[in-house]
């Protein structure tokens, strides 16, 4: 029996990535209305503030820790704003995940070997999922940081050596992998599950 459509309007912030169109397609397949806006579109901050639906911080190239990059400065400011103010859910994918992780105080480091189309089985919040990674950077979270985040209601999915695969709390969730990639076996279902969790979270969480 097919799941009921999610019935909300998602605003996707495009970080200059060819995967953005595919991500929008996956969101639409779950029953969401989808609008895509470039990160550098004039007036984007006001559009995001007024949006009454989930905001999706999409993938894109670049180092989120590079304060000299105007793109990253703009996206860091936008991420801080939506995490602080947005009441209709925030989903981060790849770069969007790294931006959320950085806002939570986690270190973002360059991977020794970049993932560019790597299919891997990961432990995603307690269950095995086959997913596709395309990232040169990753968030790191040691045991102490994980305990601190857990005390604030943030669940961290990570490898034994601290590489962060995903984050979730009440009103936000993020994944380092690309759920919209064909390398992610259950990608559409994972997106639906994450967005559904955002839409049903208590407003103040």
CATH code, 165: 3.40.50.880
pLDDT of the residue at 1: 46
In the chain, how many domains are there? 1
Question: Where does the chain show beta strands of DSSP type E?
Answer: 9-14, 33-38, 55-57, 90-93, 107-124, 127-140, 155-158, 164-168, 172-175
- Residues marked as catalytic: 94, 178, 180
Cβ of 150: how many Cβ atoms within 10 Å?
12
Q: What is the average pLDDT value for the chain, to the nearest integer?
A: 94
Can you tell me the mean pLDDT for 85-106? 97
Above 80 in pLDDT, residue 5?
Answer: no
At 30-64, the pLDDT tens digits run 999 999 999 999 999 999 999 999 999 999 999 99
Q: Is residue 86 part of a domain?
A: yes
Tell me what pLDDT residue 114 has. 84
CA dihedral 39, 183, 129, 17 (to 10 degrees): -10
Q: Is residue 1 part of a domain?
A: no
Per-residue model confidence (pLDDT) at position 3: 62
Residue 176: which of 96, 107, 66, 108 has the closest Cα? 96
**Residue 165 in domain:** yes
Q: Judge whether 167 lies within some domain.
A: yes
């Amino acid at each position: 029996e097919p799941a009921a459509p999610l019935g909300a309007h998602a605003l996707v912030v495009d970080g200059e990535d060819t995967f953005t169109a595919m991500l929008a397609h996956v969101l639409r397949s779950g029953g969401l209305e989808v609008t895509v806006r470039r990160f550098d579109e004039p007036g984007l901050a006001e559009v995001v503030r007024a949006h009454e639906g989930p905001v999706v911080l999409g993938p894109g190239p670049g180092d989120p820790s590079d304060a000299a990059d105007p793109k990253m400065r703009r996206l860091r400011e936008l991420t801080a704003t939506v995490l602080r103010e947005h009441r209709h859910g925030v989903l981060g994918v790849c770069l969007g995940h790294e931006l959320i992780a950085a806002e939570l105080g986690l270190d973002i480091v360059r991977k020794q070997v970049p993932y560019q189309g790597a299919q891997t089985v990961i432990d995603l919040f307690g269950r095995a999922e086959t997913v596709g990674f395309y990232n040169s950077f990753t968030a790191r979270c040691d045991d102490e940081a994980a305990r601190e985040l857990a005390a604030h209601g943030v669940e961290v999915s990570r490898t034994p050596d601290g590489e962060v695969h995903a984050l979730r709390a009440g009103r936000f969730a993020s994944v380092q992998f690309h759920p919209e990639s064909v390398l992610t076996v259950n990608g559409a279902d994972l997106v639906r599950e994450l967005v559904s969790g955002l839409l049903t979270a208590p407003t103040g969480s």
